[in-house]
Amino acid sequence: QERYGNMTRVYYREAVGALVVFDMTRLSTFQAVLKWKGDLDSKVALSNGRTVPAVLLANKCDQRRQGLCPKLPKLENFTREYGFVGWYETSAKV
C-alpha cells in the first residue's frame, strides 16, 4: 500500500524470500504488482547479489465470478517475464 512505501527498506532487511499479493477482485492491486516487485528488487538482495526470490499470490480466488480472471494476462508468462519464481491462487475462505 502507498502509505508504507517509504518504510519498505526496513521490512525487507535480511529477507530471503518474498510474497507479492494482489486481490483478484480489484484491478488496481494487480496494476501495483510491478511497483512492489521493482521496489523489492531495488532495495534488497541476497548475499550473492541476486534478487530475493518472490512468489506472486492471486488472493480471493473464491470470488472468481466477481474477479479479474478473464482480464488477467497469462500469469505463467507474466511471472516468468518479470522475475517471479511462480504464482499461486489463494483464499482466506477456502
pLDDT-based confidence at residue 3 (cuts at 50, 70, 90): low
Q: Which tens digit of pLDDT belongs to each residue from 6-64?
A: 667 788 888 999 999 999 888 899 999 999 999 999 999 999 999 999 999 999 887 76
Identity (one letter) of the amino acid at 73?
Answer: P
Q: What's the whole-model pTM score?
A: 0.83
Sign for the pseudo-dihedral over CA of 55, 31, 79, 13: negative
